[in-house]
Amino acid sequence: MNAFRSHWVDWLKAIIVALLFATIIRAFFFISYEVRGESMMPSAYDGERFIINKVGYNFVEPDRFDLIVFHATETEDYIKRVIALPGDTVQYVDDRLYINGEYVDEPFLVERVEEGNRMPYTYDFAYPQVIPEGHVFVLGDNRPYSKDSRMIGPISYESIVGKVDMRFWPITAAGWMNDAKE
């Protein structure tokens, strides 16, 4: 009976250590995120799940075209693509992105823009916008159906949860995000 009890105590210790380890990982390093809505199609579809790296931006700043998750409100997080960085001047003219007055290609939009829509995929901004220090300008890849920096303004670094590193659901599409430029 004593050996039986010792066996269960060992298992209980192992389970407690595993739960503690998982809690620490989730709280400080990585978190899962489920996409809600169609604002990031075709890069991310409703119901897909991703692993978000919470520590990466503690050491480096976001890069243009990173996919990030951020606190949009007190109760909602959004996934969007970084388009402009602090100090950049961003503008859309004739469905083309201009950063600091120079055209910037968005290869992840080619398929969507070429679908034959007669209306602009990304409407012109009324005026060039300068991104303040400590902020990024984000857009959804499905521009006609995205609530993003065009409506809610630039996103502060403090509200960024982390960078999208890996898709893990659906299992058939699982994999690393190739520097989140897909």
Q: Buried (b) or exposed (e) across 109-143, using 16+ Cβ within 10 A?
A: beebeeeeeeeebbeeeeeebebeeebbbbbbbbb
Cα–Cα distance, 80 to 68 (Å, whole number): 6
Q: Is 39 a catalytic residue?
A: yes
Q: Is 80 a catalytic residue?
A: yes
Q: Which of 39, 43, 146, 149 is catalytic?
A: 39
**C-alpha atoms less than 13 angstroms from C-alpha of 73 in its C-beta half-sphere:** 4
Cα–Cα distance, 133 to 144 (Å, whole number): 27
Q: Which of 43, 54, 80, 163 is catalytic?
A: 80
Angle subtended at Cα 76 by Cα 86 and Cα 22, rounded to the nearest 5 degrees: 95
Cα–Cα distance, 166 to 121 (Å, whole number): 27
- 23 to each of 12, 28, 54, 57, 173, how far by Cα in Å? 16, 9, 14, 20, 26
- Active site positions, annotated: 39, 80
